Structure 1
């Protein structure tokens, strides 16, 4: 398999992940809103995330889809995956006084450990996508 296909496949996996998670939030928005307000961070933060997170995930998906913006999509995906992985890590470390609710969609069936490993996997994929894309662009002078 040519190297050029690897970042494309990684971008597709991330694209599907972000479209799925954003659409599950938007399709059951009331449930998503209630779940976010139950999280361990301040309500002001939750209220901002309620309205920005699904849109941000969709923006990342679009950036990953377009070859010229794919590297920016990878960088934004990196930030999101670091935040998601860090948050699940804090839950596993019993950092919060209460264990917050789980995510929606297929991810709701995962325990926190599985969710952490899932996020870590996608975080590592994102780093790999950034590395290969950046290296290929430097090599081709773009």
Structure 2
């Protein structure tokens, strides 16, 4: 293999590695936000509705950061994962590491499927349920959106 091709491949691998690290950080941030903010918010919202408690923080979140804001945020994760797969297919030299590249792509396709299922559950179950709860909370307390 020519030295220039090898150098180019190393550069591509570094770029892919950087992209993957950035994607990983973004995914972890999303999951931490769910665990640390979204799920506790939903639980607190439901408690406030059940006990007919008006909570100023809940009221503020509904008006300023409703679940619709959260809903818009996770589409980019799926697009970036697709971009990563496409970059690997296009730029990784499979001749040098064919088996490793195939394993990596297989795992990325699995991750993509898992994230699609995750997003579908959020879109079809969580988000509609929280929208309903937010509206119910506003109705109970006579708050206009």
**TM-score after normalising by structure 1:** 0.43
Structure showing greater radius of gyration is 2
**TM-score after normalising by structure 2:** 0.42
**Larger RCO (CA within 8 A; separation ≥ 6):** 2
